[in-house]
């Protein structure tokens, strides 16, 4: 009972104090003080050694600087975590939740926002949030077209890229139709993870945006009456593509790391990633041969901001805020964007940084396989989150093995 009362007092305290801008600094000091000694259970994808190493570094910094313990709970599907939080809410567990901070995508953000599973708006009060590029990188304010409303903390930028083996493929296909032509000639040398794996769903959305004749509908709440018309060209394309895939689509990779291993073993010649620096990182670590390079489609590829969120019933709300704010610091963002560490593009605006802070991001070797910002070309915005579940369900009905 005392814990519930403490959390209610804390929520009221934050609301009242944050309503007075002049008190923001004092309020943040109070939150930092309350976070001292707390443990943050951070639920996030654990399928990348580079990402796991970065989170380990950040966790050590939190312990040293704030006496906050961060436990990285490695998950395969964050949707399972969302379901657990919903079950906690339905069971009356309004405090003392099992998740304090989570790495989510737009589909899950939409679900959590709709079901009231997110902490009340808070990120606008982070000391480091003022450094975020909310002017040029509009996806820091919208997650799959759903307004963030300060209920997520932007963490990094991402864009779909394709990886290919230059020792085998001299000229990579630069569109979905060219990819189909490539697969006709090189049967079995391309595949993608089965949805609802994030990378698999991303490939499907990329194909849909290139092939449909009604992209406008994809940026609005789904209208079931339009589903067949909007997605019809996608299914026609996949019906033709799948017999040409690795193992004739009788099986699909379960994850992006598995797809990368197939590329390394030259079972496939083209793969995909949502991190423009992944190929360079994998070459440096010996996971991929140095003949691998990166390319994008000429019409552009999907890009978005990825976010961190605090559930409404988090046990360590204060420590989760302090951790999320630290991850927005120039130091943490610069380290994360370093290709030798992770290579995840920053959400910060260089114009908002001091000369010393900007220097943290400059004069870096991007790596042999990393495209420059100019080479990455146009960024295609994510469709509205309501389309994702419908597309995944239809894919499962048609193609799941």
pLDDT in tens, 109-135: 999 999 999 999 999 889 999 999 998
Q: Which residues contact 359 (CB under 8 A, 6 or more apart)?
A: none
Instruction: Output the pLDDT for position 322.
Output: 98
Instruction: Output the pLDDT for position 397.
Output: 97
Inform me whether the pLDDT recorded for 310 exceeds 90.
yes
CA 26/CA 131 separation, integer angstroms:
19
Start-to-end CA distance of the chain, whole Å, equals 49
Mean local confidence (pLDDT), 320-330 = 98
CA 252/CA 242 separation, integer angstroms:
10
Q: Which residues contact 308 (CB under 8 A, 6 or more apart)?
A: 101, 102, 103, 104, 152, 153, 155, 324, 327
Strand partners, 348: 132
Task: Name the nearest CA neighbour of 270 among 190, 206, 204, 168.
Answer: 190
Instruction: Output the pLDDT for position 183.
Output: 98
Mean local confidence (pLDDT), 9-37 = 66
Helix H or strand E segment including 42: strand 39-45
CA 275/CA 284 separation, integer angstroms:
15
| Whether the Cβ atoms of residue 201 and residue 364 lie closer than 8 Å to each other | no
Please report the domains of the chain, with CATH numbers, ordered by start residue: 2-157+305-368 (3.40.190.10), 159-303+376-399 (3.40.190.10)
Mean local confidence (pLDDT), 53-69 = 98
pLDDT in tens, 151-184: 999 999 989 999 999 999 999 999 999 999 999 9
pLDDT in tens, 182-227: 999 999 999 999 999 989 999 999 999 999 999 999 999 999 999 9
Q: What is the dihedral of CA 156, 157, 159, 161, to 10 degrees?
A: -50
Q: How confident is the model at residue 24 (pLDDT cuts 50, 70, 90)?
A: low
């Amino acid at each position: 009972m005392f814990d519930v009362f403490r959390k209610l007092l804390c929520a009221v305290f934050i609301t009242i104090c944050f309503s007075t801008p002049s008190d923001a600094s004092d309020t943040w000091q109070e939150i930092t003080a309350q976070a001292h000694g707390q443990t943050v259970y951070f639920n996030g994808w654990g399928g990348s050694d580079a990402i796991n190493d970065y989170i380990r570094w950040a966790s050590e910094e939190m312990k040293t600087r704030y006496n906050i313990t961060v436990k990285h709970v490695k998950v395969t599907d964050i949707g399972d975590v969302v379901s657990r939080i919903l079950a906690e809410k339905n069971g009356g567990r309004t405090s003392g939740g099992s998740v304090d901070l989570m790495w989510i995508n737009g589909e899950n953000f939409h679900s959590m926002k709709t079901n009231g599973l997110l902490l009340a708006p808070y990120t606008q009060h982070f000391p480091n949030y003022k450094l975020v590029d909310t002017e040029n990188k509009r996806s820091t304010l919208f997650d799959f077209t759903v307004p963030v409303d300060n209920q997520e903390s932007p963490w990094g930028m991402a864009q779909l890229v394709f990886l290919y083996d230059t020792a085998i493929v001299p000229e990579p296909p630069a569109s979905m139709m060219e990819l189909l032509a490539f697969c006709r000639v090189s049967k079995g040398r391309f595949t993608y993870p089965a949805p609802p794996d994030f990378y698999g769903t991303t490939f499907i959305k990329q194909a849909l945006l290139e092939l449909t004749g009604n992209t406008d509908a994809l940026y609005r709440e789904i209208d079931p009456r339009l589903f067949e018309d909007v997605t019809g060209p996608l299914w026609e394309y996949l019906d033709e593509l799948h017999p040409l895939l690795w193992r004739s689509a009788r099986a699909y990779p379960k994850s992006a790391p598995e797809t990368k291993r197939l590329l390394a073993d030259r079972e496939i010649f083209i793969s995909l990633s949502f991190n423009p620096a992944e190929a360079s990182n994998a070459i440096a670590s010996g996971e991929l041969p140095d003949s691998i390079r990166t390319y994008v489609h000429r019409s552009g590829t999907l890009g978005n901001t990825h976010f961190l969120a605090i559930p409404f019933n988090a046990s360590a709300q204060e420590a989760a805020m302090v951790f999320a704010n630290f991850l927005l610091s120039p130091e943490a963002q610069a380290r994360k964007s370093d290709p030798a560490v992770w290579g995840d593009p920053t959400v910060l605006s260089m114009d908002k940084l001091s000369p010393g802070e900007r220097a943290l991001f400059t004069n870096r070797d991007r790596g042999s396989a990393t495209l420059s910002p100019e080479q990455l070309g146009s960024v295609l915005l994510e469709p509205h989150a309501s389309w994702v579940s419908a597309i995944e369900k239809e894919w499962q009905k048609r193609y799941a093995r």
